[in-house]
Structure 1
């Protein structure tokens, strides 16, 4: 390290006297040893850039002028920061790299604003679950992945029973709190790669990648029991408490089918669960017949 200016001191919390003449600038940015972008250029290891940075680009065809962005731990600074880094090599008359200039920009506020906007675009404001837009995008992505990997894809459509009566009795504020508690209950039964979304109103949708119909039915029953155990009073319901009806469907995607068909099948199963008395699970049709409703 031959130059460490005042701006770098303020950014990292590390004075120049500690850095000049050293080779371990990484200590100012990361909790564990790893090369900086300048190190990668000097050591001719630029092929490792994609694995170490969130985003990157080459600023010219020679491949030595690079720009990258990533979160940095900043051990001596007040907080973790998102830094944009540009590097430019200095070469001698023979084309050999003699030094590298690394320029840092603090992009933390901009990155946090971007994350907040992305959350607004994909999260439901009331429940914190994925919203309809996120559900649609995720279902298409999971459908394509299931098609490539020849795996089943299951979908649950979950609807709160007699919710209008609950809203009438407890008001919209009480109705909102009810939906929030149900959202938490449904989300608590999910695996890391499952997605729970607020599909609309008092209806939720659950995407279960690589899950059979039998497995989907087990998840659905857990959700039904978890919601019933909340014991939210609803005099307009048969059980005198808030319950849900669930339609479960499973598909093995093929080039001739579309994700919309899975939604339609799960919706039909949900309708059957409602028609048969609510607070129950109904499964998808199979072959020429129909699986019996899974009742409680």
Structure 2
């Protein structure tokens, strides 16, 4: 005797066929978080065939190298508390309609990275019981990379690739506020290319640009990931060093000065020495609540000014700027280690 097909089974079969032909990459989990639908668009997006995941909980392998929850898993488990740790950008739909998120996925099968916009929502029966979770995916990689490129252009100096002045000012405000909260030291290096106008006049603006690029590259190579190096303006640079004691900042400044000496960028202008050198002013503050970051900048600027007027090609601490200011000192040959003025 042939079994009569129930209307609900017909509807379910139709829904599955419909999802298979959707142009939107889609997969469906049952309440046990097993894959019951993995449509053709999802196969194309991930490179993973439906046969590899249907009936399993291995759908995560299509998107990540290590086992972790996908968005549909969080819906099935009602774990909205994990959204923040797993997805940098997310929203929770109202009325229990699911979650939306964006995330970089490593796509192990394809060997590339995609930035995916993800929506996952539950399907309940008439009694409110969960019967499935549907996850849909949109490839937003091109848009995300374009957005990142625009942000980089807006925050970077076009010549050196370092942070620009606006970006540096924002970083200073953030790190100053953090240092106030944590009572930790914040150090600032202000760096100036000695006799740069003479260099430009002698070698031309193209060579001048090359010189600044070389200085910027040396700075970027010699700093920690947490430090912020910026082109502060013209031939002047700045380095912001969070959680850095004064002695550490002085050591970094000296290494930077020596790195430029080792580049041996020929200068040759009268009274400028044979090679390009740097003058660096260093200041450190553990900011109190009533202090402004302007104080840190002013003290580093004062140290830089004193360094340039006491012979150039040297590192000078803000603590000793006043005591040495005005004392003319001969410039040692580039490459010779200076005694730091603390």
TM class, shorter-length: over 0.9
Instruction: Indicate if the aligned counterparts of 2:310 and 2:324 stay in contact, CA closer than 8 A.
Output: no
Residue of structure 1 in register with 2:307 after alignment: 273
Greater displacement, 76-85 / 199-208: 76-85
Q: Does 1:244 align with 2:278?
A: yes
Residue of structure 1 in register with 2:32 after alignment: none
Q: Does 1:70 align with 2:103?
A: yes
Residue of structure 2 in register with 1:110 after alignment: 143
- For 2:293 and 2:118, locate their aligned partners in 1 and report how far apart those are by CA, in whole Å: 41
Instruction: Indicate if the aligned counterparts of 2:194 and 2:313 stay in contact, CA closer than 8 A.
Output: yes
- For 1:238 and 1:72, locate their aligned partners in 2 and report how far apart those are by CA, in whole Å: 53
Instruction: Indicate if the aligned counterparts of 2:306 and 2:322 stay in contact, CA closer than 8 A.
Output: no
- For 1:194 and 1:232, locate their aligned partners in 2 and report how far apart those are by CA, in whole Å: 25
Deviation at 1:189, TM superposition (A): 2.2
Structure 2 gap segments, 5+ residues each: 1-34, 330-337
Deviation at 1:78, TM superposition (A): 5.4
Please list, as runs of the form range in 1=range in 2, the aligned pairs for 1:139-288 lying within 5 A after superposition.
139-236=172-269, 237-285=271-319
Instruction: Indicate if the aligned counterparts of 2:105 and 2:113 stay in contact, CA closer than 8 A.
Output: yes
Question: Aligned to 2:37, what secondary structure does the other structure show?
Answer: coil
Instruction: Indicate if the aligned counterparts of 1:248 and 1:282 stay in contact, CA closer than 8 A.
Output: yes
- For 1:194 and 1:94, locate their aligned partners in 2 and report how far apart those are by CA, in whole Å: 57
Residue of structure 2 in register with 1:30 after alignment: 64
Deviation at 1:274, TM superposition (A): 1.1
TM-score normalised by structure 1 residue count: 0.93
Greater displacement, 133-142 / 237-246: 237-246
Deviation at 1:278, TM superposition (A): 1.0
Q: 1:42 aligns with which of 63, 69, 76?
A: 76
Q: Does 1:131 align with 2:172?
A: no
- For 2:264 and 2:242, locate their aligned partners in 1 and report how far apart those are by CA, in whole Å: 30
Instruction: Indicate if the aligned counterparts of 2:188 and 2:296 stay in contact, CA closer than 8 A.
Output: yes
Displacement over 6 Å in runs of 4+: none
- For 2:192 and 2:260, locate their aligned partners in 1 and report how far apart those are by CA, in whole Å: 11
- For 1:6 and 1:188, locate their aligned partners in 2 and report how far apart those are by CA, in whole Å: 46
Instruction: Indicate if the aligned counterparts of 2:195 and 2:272 stay in contact, CA closer than 8 A.
Output: no
TM-score normalised by structure 2 residue count: 0.81
- For 2:160 and 2:233, locate their aligned partners in 1 and report how far apart those are by CA, in whole Å: 11
- For 1:189 and 1:79, locate their aligned partners in 2 and report how far apart those are by CA, in whole Å: 31
Instruction: Indicate if the aligned counterparts of 1:74 and 1:80 stay in contact, CA closer than 8 A.
Output: yes
Question: Aligned to 2:198, what secondary structure does the other structure show?
Answer: helix
- For 2:67 and 2:317, locate their aligned partners in 1 and report how far apart those are by CA, in whole Å: 53
Question: Aligned to 1:208, what secondary structure does the other structure show?
Answer: strand
User: What is the CA RMSD across the aligned residues, in angstroms?
Assistant: 1.9
Instruction: Indicate if the aligned counterparts of 2:189 and 2:239 stay in contact, CA closer than 8 A.
Output: yes
Q: How many residues are treated as equivalent by the alignment?
A: 293
Deviation at 1:291, TM superposition (A): 5.2
- For 1:51 and 1:254, locate their aligned partners in 2 and report how far apart those are by CA, in whole Å: 33
Q: 1:19 aligns with which of 53, 71, 78?
A: 53
